[in-house]
């Protein structure tokens, strides 16, 4: 049977060992950097679909767009870190921002769908990954 031995550079091993102690600080920063990229794309797509192709003049107040944001990085019950891009609740008029976003995304009877979330997710995937890689590299360089 063949045997392979790979030796890592000493500085790389040292950075990895220091990284082990700092992961709880680095992971939230990396995820929030990616979340910001996705939020910007969702915000651009949402702004483009609000009031577009309506039979009557748009009654948009801008509340949905202003309620869009990124949550801080949190740990779920499985121990995974997550950030969420979504809408804060509630609205002053008592309706749900999530319900209004859902109607925009998927449409309803008499109102065609105007997808903004799904296209944003697919368009922001690669830039999000690149932003998270860059944030990770910045944090590792600080070690």
Question: Taking the mean position of all CA atoms in its chain, how far away is CA 6?
Answer: 37
DSSP per residue, 3-68: -------HHHHHHHHHHHHHHHHHHHHHHHHHHHHHHHHHHHHHHHHTTTT-SS-----SHHHHHE
Q: Tell me whether residue 89 is in a domain.
A: yes
Tokens of 111: 């109102």
Residue 13: predicted pLDDT: 66
Q: Tell me whether residue 126 is in a domain.
A: yes
pLDDT at 74 exceeding the cut of 80: yes
Q: Tell me whether residue 8 is in a domain.
A: no
Tokens of 83: 């950030």
Tokens of 10: 């000493």
Query: Mean pLDDT over residues 36-63, rounded?
Result: 81
Residues contacting 61, CB < 8 A, separation 6+: none
- pTM > 0.85: no
Tell me if 75 sits within 8 A of 83, measured CB to CB. Answer: no
Domain residue limits at 39: 24-51+63-142
Q: Tell me whether residue 67 is in a domain.
A: yes
Tokens of 55: 């039979």
Q: Tell me whether residue 68 is in a domain.
A: yes
More confident residue, 140 or 9: 140
Q: Tell me whether residue 13 is in a domain.
A: no
Q: Tell me whether residue 18 is in a domain.
A: no
Query: Mean pLDDT over residues 76-101, rounded?
Result: 86
Residue 81: predicted pLDDT: 86
Q: Tell me whether residue 19 is in a domain.
A: no
More confident residue, 115 or 55: 115
Count structural domains, the chain: 1
Burial degree of 4 (CB within 10 A; 0-12, 13-18, 19+): exposed
Residue 108: predicted pLDDT: 85
Residue 131: predicted pLDDT: 92
Query: Which of the four pLDDT bands, split at 50, 70 and 90, describes residue 55?
Result: low
């Amino acid at each position: 049977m063949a045997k392979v031995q790979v030796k890592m550079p000493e500085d790389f091993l040292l950075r990895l060992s220091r990284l082990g102690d700092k992961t709880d600080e680095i992971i939230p920063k990396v995820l929030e950097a990616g979340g910001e990229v996705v939020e910007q794309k969702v915000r651009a797509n949402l702004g483009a679909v609000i009031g577009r192709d309506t039979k009557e003049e748009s009654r948009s107040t801008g509340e949905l767009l202003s309620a869009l944001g990124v949550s801080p990085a949190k740990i779920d019950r499985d121990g995974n870190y997550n950030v969420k891009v979504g809408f804060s609740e509630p609205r002053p008029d008592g309706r749900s921002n999530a319900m209004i976003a859902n109607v925009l995304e998927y449409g309803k009877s008499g109102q065609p769908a105007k997808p903004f979330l799904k296209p944003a997710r697919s368009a922001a995937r690669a830039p999000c990954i690149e932003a998270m890689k860059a944030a990770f590299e910045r944090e590792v360089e600080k070690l």
